[in-house]
Amino acid sequence: MTPDPTPLRFDTPIVPGGYAWWYLDGVSDDGALGFTIILFIGSVFSPRYARARARARARAQPANPEQHCAVNLAIYATEQATRVWALNEHASFARDAKQLRIGASTIHWQDDGALVVELDERQTKFFGRRGAPLRGRVRLRPAAMFGPRVELDHWRAQPRHRWYPVAPHARVDFELDEPAMSFSGSGYHDVNEGDEPLEAAFDSWTWSRCELDRNSVITYDVVDPAGVAHARAWRFDPSGSTPTIESIPDAAFGPAHPLATTRWGVARSIRSDPGHTPRLLRTLEDTPFYSRNLVEVKIGGRAATAVHESLSLRRFASAWVRGLLPFKIS
C-alpha cells in the first residue's frame, strides 16, 4: 500500500452528492481530556444536505457539496462541566491545494510537516441560541506520513468510498483560547471521501485505533447493506527510513467482542487478541446512531487503550433520527 497524494491536498474534486472530510483526534497523555475535529465538504450528517440531495434526484439536478460545509468539534473530559460540542454549518467556504477554510476556521499543512487547524466557532446550543465562542488551534505532528488509498466498499464492482490514514501515529498540541484549555498527547489524522451518501453503501461500521509504542494498529470493520461483515486491520510502523504498512489477518484477532450497548441502544464491538475480553473504559459520545469510546484491548499480547467508534447508518437513515439532527446542528 503506497501513499496517495490526494489527502495532502484540499482542492480534490468532489462529485455532486458526494462528500469529503478531514478528521483529527487526540487524547491527553494522562487520559483526562480528548477531542475530535472534523471539517466537512458535503456534510454527511446534515439534514439540509440530505434534503438537497432528495430535491436533486427529483429534479435531475446535482446537489453541490460545497454548499453544505460544516465544522465539528467535540472535547471530552472526565468532568462534565468542561465538555464542549459544536457542529456548525457555514455558507462561507474557500479552498485551494494548500488550505481549506470553512466559515472562519481553517486547516493547512505547514512547511515543517505539521497539520494545523485554526478554530473560530461557537458552541452549538438548542433552539437557535448562540453559544459561547470556541477559538484556538491544534497542531498535529505525524511520526511519519502514510495515506494509502483504501476502498472501504471494496466488494463492489465500482467502489465509491475511500479512506486515507494519513497520520495514524502522531503527537498533538491542543490549545483553546476560549474557553481556556490546553493539553498534549497522542494524535491521529485521516481523510474520507465518497461519491454518494454513506448509507447507500454501509449498514454500519466499527473503527478503532491504538498506539503500541512506536507502532499504531487500526481496525476498520464495515457491514454492507446485505448484512455481510468485512473486517480489515493494519499495523503502521513509522520508524526507520521507510515507514511500513502491514495488513493484519483476521486470524490474529478472531471475532469481534461485543461491548455493552449504548443508552440509545447502539450496538458496539471491537476486536482484540483471541482469549482476551476488551473492557469499556469510557463512553465519550452517545447519540442515537453513533458512539465514541475508549476501550482497553490487547494486541499481540500487549495491552493498549483504543479510541473506538460505532456508527449505525441504518439508524442514521431512519426518520426519527433525521428529525433529531437539527437540534445538534447550528
pLDDT tens for 224-246 read: 999 999 999 999 999 877 889 99
Q: How confident is the model at residue 126 (pLDDT cuts 50, 70, 90)?
A: low
Q: Is the pLDDT of residue 329 over 60?
A: no
Q: What is the pLDDT of residues 53-104, one digit of tens each?
A: 888 777 767 889 999 999 999 999 876 656 789 999 999 999 999 999 999 9
What percentage of the chain has pLDDT greater than the value 90? 76
Largest separation between any pair of C-alpha atoms in the chain:
56
Q: Is the pLDDT of residue 261 over 90?
A: yes
Q: How confident is the model at residue 51 (pLDDT cuts 50, 70, 90)?
A: confident
pTM across the whole model: 0.94
Q: Is CATH 2.40.370.10 the right assignment for the domain spanning 19-328?
A: yes
Q: Distance (Å, rounded) from C-alpha 256 to C-alpha 54?
A: 36
Q: Which amino acid is at 197?
A: P
Q: Is the pLDDT of residue 157 over 80?
A: yes
Q: What is the pLDDT of residues 290-323, one digit of tens each?
A: 999 999 999 989 999 999 999 999 998 888 877 7
24 is written with which cell numbers?
483529527
pLDDT at res. 318: 85
pLDDT at res. 3: 75
- Tell me how far CA of residue 292 lies from CA of 194, 258, 270, in angstroms: 22, 15, 12
Q: Distance (Å, rounded) from C-alpha 141 to C-alpha 211?
A: 15
Q: Which residues of 291-326 are buried (b: 16+ CB within 10 A; e: fewer)?
A: bbbbbbbbbeeeebbbbbbbbbbebbbeeebeeebe
Q: Distance (Å, rounded) from C-alpha 16 to C-alpha 328?
A: 25
77 forms beta bridges with 33
Q: Distance (Å, rounded) from C-alpha 233 to C-alpha 223?
A: 15
Q: Is the pLDDT of residue 127 over 60?
A: no
Q: What would the mean pLDDT of 262-279 be, rounded to a whole number?
A: 94
The domain limits of the chain are 19-328
What percentage of the chain has pLDDT greater than the value 70? 95
CB count, 10 Å around CB of 164?
21
